[in-house]
Amino acid sequence: MNASDTAEQAHESDWLDHAIRAGLVAYGVVHLLIAWLAIQLALGEKADSASNSGAMQYLAEQPLGGVLVWLVAVGMFLLVVWRLLEFAFGYRDESDETKRWRKRATSLGKAVIYGAIGWSAVQTATGSGGGKGGGTGSTTAKLMQLPGGQLIVGAVGIAIIAYGGSLVYRGWTEKFREHLDAQGQSGTDGSAYVKLGKAGYIAKGISIALVGGLFGYAAITHDPKKSGGLDQALQTVLEQPFGQVLLIAIGLGIACYGVFCFARAKHLSR
């Protein structure tokens, strides 16, 4: 049996289901932490950043925080393995080749996202995080310096907005139901899971689209300081009329997504 056969066998194995469930629990924890920090921001507490890195830092400061951060990192990297196997061997029953490769590309993109969160957790656990001096703004500045950099930053913004919009669409149409087995969609519990998923996908999609909007604004104004991550996007929401109410609503929605991750882990369908 060659390496390819072994990897394909791993993709179909029961152990991968257990690994995915562990990863989804970790992913849910990350979203609950981000939701808590967003709500704290809305209530006037600005000590922590409402972002992936901020969530890791907040978790590290709790009792046994170092161990918990490492567990989150392991969970995220398990999800990376899943998505990479899915990219390589998944969707073979899809007859439309274009659609099949689009789904595989989506899996690869998700592997990158999970990997970034996992790497953030590792940096926090080892104390090697870059702090608040760098971040999205400095990255955008470097992109701006490239030939056609303004267009590149604008394209990144559009891609992020499109991804956020796709999450809103999946939430509104309840396409996320495919991630739950039949039991997870039926009865009182199933109804609750679907409502959590709907609120969670829509709220997460809106927050990500706001990040894309910041990139777009940075491209239009040619000012990299206008770009930002999730924390800056949520701060922008807070500065709007009724911003406190809107930010609390987004925070609660992100929390719903976190709880839905737990439901998905329990009723996994892939």
Supply 150's token pair: 């303004």
Residue corresponding to tokens 């998944």: 90
Contact between 59 and 53 (Cβ < 8 Å): no
Residue 136 has pLDDT above 70, yes or no: no
Alpha-helix runs per DSSP H in 52-96: 52-60, 65-89
Residue corresponding to tokens 């969670």: 200
CA 239 → CA 56, 209, 257, distances in Å?
25, 17, 24
In this structure, of 1-5, 143-147, 198-202, 243-247, the range with the lowest mean pLDDT score is 1-5
Q: What is the mean pLDDT of residues 58-69?
A: 89
Express each pLDDT in 218-263 by its tens digit. 888 887 777 777 888 888 888 888 889 999 999 999 999 999 999 9
Residue 2 has pLDDT above 80, yes or no: no
Contact between 53 and 119 (Cβ < 8 Å): no
Contacts of 55 by beta carbon, 8 Å cutoff, 6+ apart: 30, 33, 34, 37
In this structure, of 50-54, 172-176, 266-270, the range with the lowest mean pLDDT score is 50-54
pLDDT of 240 = 87
Supply 223's token pair: 């000012």
DSSP 154-170: HHHHHHHHHHHHHHHHH
pLDDT band at 132 (very low <50, low <70, confident <90, very high): very low
Among 75-79, 126-130, 179-183, 232-236, top mean pLDDT goes to 75-79
Q: Mean of the per-residue pLDDT values for the chain?
A: 87
pLDDT of 255 = 96
Residue spans per domain, the chain: 1-132, 134-270
